[in-house]
Amino acid sequence: MSQEERVRKLGIRKTDESNGPVGYWIHAAPRVRYNHALEYAVHLATERVRDLFCFFVIDPSYPGATTRHFRFLIEGVTDTIAALSDRGISCAMYLGSPRETVVDLSRHFSVLVTDRAYSRTHREWYDALRDQARCPVYQVESNVVVPVEITSDKEEYSAATIRRKIAREKDRFLVPIRTVTYGGGPAAPPAAPDTPRPIDPRDLSDTDGFLRRLGIRSAPTASFSGGERVARDLLTTFLEERLQRYGSLRNVPDLDWGSHMSPYLHFGQISPVEIALAAIDHEAARGGADGGTEAEVFLEELIVRRELAINFVHYNDNYDTYDSLPDWARRTLDDHRSDPRKDLYTDRQLENAETHDPYWNACQREMTQRGVMHGYMRMYWGKKILEWSADPEDAYARAIVLNDTWELDGRDPNGWAGVAWCFGKHDRPWAERPVFGKVRYMNDAGLRRKFKSIDLYAARWTG
């Protein structure tokens, strides 16, 4: 395990209190490749001559998640369990509240390792571990290129301000990970009368039935399957077929030129470090001629923009509410809150794509049917919700709910920052207009001017 700056200790316990195995609570990074937390856990187990036991906790009450999200998650975790088994490491799934289940299991371990996410829900889990865990706990940050506090100790204003800070640190973190050979044996799940029992794998053979029994809100299956192997296959296809012209074609809605990595990054099923290094190596193999610029555009999205979103969520407690917006944006939207709205739509009309705008309807249908939305159209989608809602606060809340419910990568810093951007976050004031004030404006005429094939996109997602 290298890059010790990714590791921090939770709580104040200083020494091991038992001869138990090393535990690794997987939640933000269910993968075996480029997983700094896993390699740190293997390192501790090897160094202390302990067995290693990995586990994942499925929380059916996780805020905003639907059967679409849980199916993708379970596919990914199942994939991870098989890959860990190939390394001789045992892993189990539990059902329940992570803040209670993990604390309960911690009394069986000599030390516990976990990975890191950034939402309010995750912070509550970590606070419980910090205060109640029965063994030392180490947290390893593995889902960013540069650890969030090393990049900056405050909320950054824009991509321009964080880009310079990431550039200063990036090269020492953007390096291949050293895989540690695990020398122990498969550890049995902790057993005691009051200890949770793992989920029987046979219960997951019928994933739909399993999720129905949990009472999770139903949503149609997305177009993408979960898992690290699927993610790597999609990455290979993207590098070979689309990276070369990514900068010039990624915004064209009907071409679908994106990498499709966002859901897998959200669920931690692939590492941004692995993606970035693969893109760099691919361009180097091609000679780096015109492709270097294309790779740079992709890395800007993958590293700078994504880690700006994580910085926003980490440092702004209001990240998923209207109050997260900068003062200038709230002032100008407040100045125009009484402006007449030509069209107002209900929550149901928006969710069912029942507006007068064929381009917006196509966005919404792509999201509800496929589980993802084209990146450029996602911006247009958010702007129109502002225009079609009674006030900006209501518009913001509706955009968050729709995004979190239907996007595979909903409930994620990228999604929350994307909605906020539509209302002025990480942007600057523009020319003043009705309803929008000085917040950047987008309309259907602009789409037609920019994309001659926009009607092909609309036609694809009609009905």
DSSP reduced 3-state for 261: coil
Closest to 386 (Cα-Cα) out of 352, 413, 425, 414: 425
Alpha helices for 178-227 (secondary structure H):
207-214
Question: For every one of its 463 residues, what pLDDT tens digit does the chain have, with 9 covering 90 and above?
Answer: 457 999 999 976 655 557 899 999 999 999 999 999 999 999 999 999 999 999 999 999 999 999 999 999 999 999 999 999 999 999 999 999 999 999 999 999 999 999 999 999 999 999 999 999 999 999 999 999 999 999 999 999 999 999 999 999 999 999 999 998 998 888 889 988 888 999 998 898 889 899 989 999 999 999 999 999 999 999 999 999 999 999 999 999 999 999 999 999 999 999 999 999 999 999 998 876 444 588 999 999 999 999 999 999 999 999 999 999 999 999 999 999 999 999 999 999 999 999 999 999 999 999 999 999 999 999 999 999 999 999 999 999 999 999 999 999 999 999 999 999 999 999 999 999 999 999 999 999 999 999 999 999 999 998 6
User: Looking at residue 172, what is its pLDDT?
Assistant: 95
Query: Which residues, including other chains, have CB under 8 Å from residue 13's CB and lie 6 or more apart?
Result: 133, 135, 136, 137
Q: Are 159 and 426 in contact (CB under 8 A)?
A: yes
CA distance 347 to 27: 32
Neighbouring C-alpha atoms within 13 Å toward the C-beta of 37: 29
User: Looking at residue 263, what is its pLDDT?
Assistant: 97
The DSSP output letter for 175 is S
User: Looking at residue 273, what is its pLDDT?
Assistant: 98
Q: Rounded to the nearest 5°, which phi and psi values hold at 249?
A: -115, -10
Looking at the DSSP assignment, which residues form a beta bridge with residue 427? none
CA distance 283 to 359: 35
CA distance 301 to 63: 27
Closest to 51 (Cα-Cα) out of 25, 88, 85: 88
Closest to 145 (Cα-Cα) out of 39, 5, 297, 282: 5
CA distance 440 to 421: 9
How is residue 96 written in tokens?
């329940």
pTM, rounded to two decimals: 0.96
DSSP string of 54-101, one letter each residue: EEEEE-TT-TT--HHHHHHHHHHHHHHHHHHHHTT-EEEEEES-HHHH
Strand segments (E) across 317-432: none
Looking at the DSSP assignment, which residues form a beta bridge with residue 111? 22
Q: Which domains does the chain have, with CATH numbers?
A: 1-142 (3.40.50.620), 228-315 (1.25.40.80), 322-460 (1.10.579.10)
User: Looking at residue 1, what is its pLDDT?
Assistant: 44
CA distance 310 to 307: 5
